[in-house]
Amino acid sequence: MNARQTPIPWTWRRRLKVGLLSILALTAVTGTIGIVYALYPRTLPQTGPLEARLLPAEIERLRSVSDFDGIADPASRSVAFFEEAGRVLQHPRCLNCHPRTDRPTQTDAMRPHMPWVTRGLDGGGASTLRCSTCHQAENFAASGVPGNPKWKLAPIEMAWQGQTLGNICRQLLDPTRSHMTRDELLHHVMEDELVGWAWHPGGNRQPAPGTQQEFGSLIKAWLETGAVCPQ
């Protein structure tokens, strides 16, 4: 014990010296950095007038019924009406909710819906994860989630994804699959608010071409000219 105690005064002084020096050095370094940082000049802009930048919106048009007057053959004209209306039917806004599986797609790229949702018994989602968990009666700008009071999937018999326009046409005309008479079909495309959503999808979604009115007129003209389907 004595042997260990003897050098204490020396160690003590040495420790003190080393300690104070390192404290001083560290303080100096920290202080210098702090001062340099504090005095580093910066100027920040103040608010001032700036023009709002509006993004040009691209709107796709539909051809009107009269644009097809040049086609003399009623059958050909009927097909032409349906093909023009097909630009709406096969638009992502419509196809996304006419999937051929139980899972809808989303976005213009028609990617599978995230999260994983299924149609459920009524097309409104599984009983434990309903469409209405996220989708409300209106598009909601704050969350970017689209909405409609009727938000749900088309029945599986009305799957359009992966179908030719001709097949979609025959599907529409088949009451066992479309569950609609021709009158009901016309009323559906002209008046239905979920169909109408396709032209008011909210957010930065590309709306379906034309207007619901123009689309309805094309369908009406197609039905009136014999409802001929493309191949």
Partner 1 sequence: MSFALSVNGQAHLVEDDGDTPLLWILRDRLSLTGTKYGCGVAQCGACTVHLDGQPKRSCSIPLKAATSAQITTIEGAEGDEVRVVQAAWVAHDVPQCGFCQSGQIMSAIALLRHNRRPTDQDIDLAMSGNLCRCATYNRIRVAIHTAAAQLGQST
Partner 2 sequence: MSDLAEKNPRTLLTRRRLILGGSLVGGALVVGYVATNPMQVVGAILQAGGGDPDPSAFGPFIRITADGWVTIVNKQQELGQGIHAGLAAIVAEELDADWDKVRVIDARSNVRAYGVQITAGSNSIASNWDLMRNAGAAARAMFVDAAALRWDVPADKIIVRDGIVSHPISNRSATFVDLLGDASRQTPQQSPVLKQPRDFRLIGTDRVRRKDSLQKSTGAQVYTQDVQRLNMLVAVVAHSPRFGGTLARFDATDALRVKGVVEVFAIETGVAVLAETTFAAIQGRAALRIEWDDSEAEMRSTDELTRYYQDIAAGRTDVEPSEFQATGDGPETPFDGEVAEFAFDFPYLAHAPMETMDCVAEVNGWDVSITSGAHLATIDQVQAALTARTMPGKVNIEVLPAGGSFGRRGIMSSDYLVECVRIAKRMEGRPIKLIWTREDEMASGYYRPMSHHRVWVELGSDGFPTRWRVHTVCQSLLPVGPNLTATEGIANSPYFSTATTVDGKIFTPAFPVIVGFWRSVGHSHTAMVMEHIIDQLARRAGRDPADYRRVFYEKAGDNRRLAVLEELCRRADWDKPLEAGWARGLAIHEAFGTVVGQVAEVRMMEERPVVRRVVSVVDCGIAVAPDQIAAQMEGGIGFGLSAAFYGEVTLQDGLVQEINFRQYPILRMNEMPAVETHIIKSANKPTGMGEPGVAPIAPAVANAVLALTGEATQRLPFLNRDARNSAGFSV
Question: Nearest distance from residue 20's CB to partner 1, in Å?
Answer: 44
Give the binding site for partner 2 (CB under 8 A). 11-12, 15-20, 22-23, 26-27, 30, 33-34, 37-38, 42, 44-53, 103, 107, 109, 111-112, 114-116, 142
Closest CA to 110 of 135, 124, 92: 92
Residue 58 interacts with which of partner 2, partner 1, none, CB < 5 to 8 Å by class: none
Q: Taking CB under 8 A as the rule, does residue 20 contact partner 1?
A: no
Closest CA to 59 of 217, 214, 188, 221: 214
Question: Nearest distance from residue 165's CB to partner 2, in Å?
Answer: 24
Among 38, 52, 72, 141, binds partner 1 (CB under 8 A): 141
Q: How many CA within 13 A on the CB side of residue 135? A: 21
Q: Give the three-class secondary structure for 17.
A: helix
Which CB atom, from 32 or from 143, has the smaller least distance to partner 1? 143
Q: Taking CB under 8 A as the rule, does residue 106 contact partner 1?
A: no
Question: Nearest distance from residue 99's CB to partner 1, in Å?
Answer: 16
Cα dihedral 175, 177, 182, 185, rounded to 10, equals 150
d(CA 126, CA 119): 6
Residue 44 interacts with which of partner 1, partner 2, none, CB < 5 to 8 Å by class: partner 2
156's CB contacts (< 8 A; 6+ apart) are 100, 102, 119
Which H or E run contains 142? none
Question: Nearest distance from residue 176's CB to partner 2, in Å?
Answer: 31
Question: Nearest distance from residue 120's CB to partner 1, in Å?
Answer: 9
- 145 forms beta bridges with 140
CA distances from 65 to 82, 84, 102, 106, 208 (A): 11, 10, 36, 30, 17
Residue 142-181 contact track with partner 1, rule CB under 8 A, x = bound: xxxx------------------------------------
Q: Taking CB under 8 A as the rule, does residue 103 contact partner 1?
A: no
Which CB atom, from 11 or from 133, has the smaller least distance to partner 1? 133
**C-beta separation of 116 from 103 below 8 A:** yes
Q: How many CB atoms lie within 10 A of CB 178?
A: 19
Binding site for partner 1 (CB under 8 A): 114-118, 126-130, 132-138, 140-145
